[in-house]
């Protein structure tokens, strides 16, 4: 993986900030510190988001067992935005005005876009744990999921360099994350010499279930003599009928592999994985990773849920990282005041579950490894490829005009989410 000048600047500032953090602490008796949990517990995204609510309850319970934070206990405030994007904004306002010091939540980018103005207006903090399309940087958001250069671009590199893929189907759910990610991927593929006629882009609504015609088109597109793959940004419960239809039409992973960005262990739990075996997913964490940190996390998860069949997944690790970073920043700041915590967050480094430390960079993204896993018949992933080290998250794509010259740095004196390195001005081009 290559690191751009912008990323090098951001990484240097992040690690410098880590050493600058003091060891201040403040212990004040008082009411519990409220922590917002903003995840869909019903609707199309409940299949993915419910477990994120559960892991936040576990992390808060663990912290309370350690004595809480600043001498106070933590209290989870759980709401259900019900996969309803405007309702996310209402529930976010309810959490913030109700006194939550920080909120951990959202999955889809449309839900994040819905709440973003609320967090900025009320100057509160959101930890967002899911891969996203980039092209955004907010002072009030910490993006602990993958940016495109930490998932989508490496996945395409793997398919191109290892699998020999020459034709590309970019298949996604019709909302901002798939559309922007595929715009980045299309530009990247074209820059790699892929012909426009070897790229097929298609979108379907949330909860789409009738895949017969689409899979027939994919099968036809992949039968013209060039190695073909599907890059899937299909979200939520639409994935189940999509893979089932691939199997129904005899499209095996050996013929046309699918690499997914939103299918993990939780989505595979409890369904027939037969149609998915051999297909791929790109994440920054898999439950199958063999490290002491991951085993301890899995053991704690099984103890908390009382169910050894409950799986772990990438967004859970992102919440694990984000929550532990927030705890360290609050301890360093000696307060839960949003401005103080936002300033203290940059440079905080905590263990991830795949080995090593993930650091919060000045652009409010973190450093992460990238892994490609092959789906097994037990619903787990066998890692077939990974980056040599941690990849720094880039808020602005190097592959889009209008973005490639932008960087984000929320530290003084820059304090800007879209600084143009070519013009030296904040505010983009």
Residue 119 forms part of a structural domain: yes
- DSSP letter for each residue of 352-408: -SSSSEEEB-TTSBBEE--EEEEE-TTS-EEEEEE-SS-EE--SS-TTSTTTTTEEE
pLDDT score of 21: 41
Classify 318 as helix, strand or coil.
helix
Query: 75 phi and psi, to 5 degrees?
Result: -130, 120
Name residues whose C-beta falls within 8 Å of residue 195's C-beta, 6 or more positions apart in sequence.
none
Pairing of strands 349-351, 357-359: antiparallel
CATH of the domain at 21: 3.40.50.2300
Q: Which domain holds residue 207?
A: 150-283
Whether residues 21 and 120 share a domain: the answer is yes
What is the reported pLDDT for 30? 81
Of the candidates 117, 44, 113, 52, the one whose C-alpha atom is nearest the C-alpha of residue 82 is 44
* 379 within a domain of the structure (yes/no): no
Given this model, what pLDDT does residue 9 score?
53
Is 77 found in the same domain as 40?
yes
118 and 156 fall within a common domain = no
Strand order across the 228-233 sheet: 199-204, 167-173, 228-233, 258-260, 280-283, 371-375, 381-386
Residue 159 lies in a domain: yes
Same domain, 10 and 142: yes
CA gap 288, 383 in Å, rounded: 8
pLDDT of residue 368: 96
User: pLDDT value at position 29?
Assistant: 55
Considering the domain boundaries, does residue 110 fall inside one? yes
CA distance 239 to 217: 17
Q: Would you say the C-alpha torsion 278, 279, 285, 286 has a positive or negative sign?
A: negative
Is there a single domain that holds both residue 256 and residue 320?
no
Which of 258, 253, 282 minimizes the C-alpha distance to 172? 258
* Same domain? 97 vs 168: no
Residue 49 falls inside a structural domain: yes
The answer to the question of residue 426 being in a domain is: no
What does the longest C-alpha to C-alpha distance in the chain come to? Answer: 70
- Of 349, 369, 389, the last residue of a domain is 369
- Of 265, 283, 301, the last residue of a domain is 283
Q: Does a structural domain hold residue 422? A: no
Is residue 268 located within the same domain as residue 346? no
- Domain termination site, one of 283, 301, 320: 283
Residues 16 and 137 in one domain: yes
Task: Say whether both 310 and 352 belong to one domain.
Answer: yes
> Going residue by residue through the chain (429 aa), what tens digit of pLDDT does each one get?
445 545 555 555 555 444 444 333 333 458 999 999 999 999 989 988 999 999 999 999 999 999 999 999 999 999 999 999 999 999 999 999 999 999 999 999 999 999 999 999 999 999 999 999 999 999 999 999 999 999 999 999 999 999 999 999 999 999 999 999 999 999 999 999 999 999 999 999 999 999 999 999 999 999 999 999 999 999 888 998 999 999 999 999 999 999 999 899 988 887 789 889 999 999 999 999 999 999 999 999 999 999 999 999 999 999 999 999 999 999 999 999 999 999 999 999 999 999 899 999 999 999 999 999 999 999 999 999 999 999 999 999 999 998 999 999 999 999 999 999 999 999 865
Q: Are residues 253 and 340 in the same domain?
A: no
Note whether 155 and 127 are same-domain residues: no
Counted domains in the chain? 2
Give yes or no: residues 229 and 276 share one domain: yes
Confirm whether 427 is domain-assigned. no
């Amino acid at each position: 993986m290559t690191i751009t000048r912008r990323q090098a600047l951001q990484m240097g500032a992040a690690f410098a900030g880590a050493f600058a953090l003091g060891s201040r602490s403040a212990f004040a008796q008082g009411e519990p510190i409220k922590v917002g949990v903003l995840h869909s517990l019903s609707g199309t995204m409940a299949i993915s988001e419910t477990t994120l609510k559960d892991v936040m309850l576990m992390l808060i319970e663990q912290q309370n067992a350690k004595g809480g934070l600043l001498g106070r206990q933590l209290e989870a405030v759980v709401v259900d935005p019900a996969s309803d994007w405007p309702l996310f904004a209402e529930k976010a306002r309810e959490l913030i005005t109700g006194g939550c010091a920080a909120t951990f939540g959202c999955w889809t980018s449309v839900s994040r876009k819905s709440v973003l103005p609320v967090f900025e207006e009320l100057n509160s903090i959101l930890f967002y744990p899911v891969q996203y399309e980039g092209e955004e940087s907010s002072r009030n958001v910490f993006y602990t999921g993958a940016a495109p250069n930490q998932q989508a671009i490496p996945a395409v590199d793997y398919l191109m360099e290892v699998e020999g893929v020459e034709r590309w189907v970019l298949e996604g759910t019709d909302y901002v994350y798939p559309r922007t990610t595929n715009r980045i991927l299309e530009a990247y593929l074209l820059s790699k010499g892929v012909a426009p006629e070897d790229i097929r882009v298609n979108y379907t609504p949330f909860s789409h279930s009738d895949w017969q015609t689409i899979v027939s088109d994919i099968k036809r597109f992949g039968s013209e003599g060039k190695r073909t793959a599907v890059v899937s940004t299909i979200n939520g419960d639409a994935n189940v009928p999509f893979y089932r239809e691939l199997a129904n039409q005899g499209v095996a992973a050996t013929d046309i592999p699918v690499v997914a960005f939103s299918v993990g262990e939780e989505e595979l739990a409890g369904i027939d994985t037969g149609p998915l075996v051999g297909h791929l997913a790109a994440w920054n964490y898999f439950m199958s990773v063999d490290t002491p940190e991951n085993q301890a996390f899995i053991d704690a998860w099984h103890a908390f849920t009382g169910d050894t069949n409950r799986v772990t997944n990438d967004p859970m690790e992102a919440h694990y990282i984000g929550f532990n970073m927030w705890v360290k920043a609050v301890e360093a700041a000696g307060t839960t005041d949003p401005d103080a915590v936002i300033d203290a967050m940059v440079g905080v480094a905590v263990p991830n579950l795949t080995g090593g430390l993930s650091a919060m960079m000045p652009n409010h993204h973190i450093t992460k490894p990238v892994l490609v896993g092959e789906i097994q018949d037990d619903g787990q992933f066998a890692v077939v490829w990974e980056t040599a080290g941690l990849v720094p998250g880039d808020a602005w794509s190097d592959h889009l005009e209008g973005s490639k010259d932008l960087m984000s740095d929320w530290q003084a004196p820059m304090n800007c989410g879209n600084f143009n390195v070519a013009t030296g001005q904040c505010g983009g081009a």
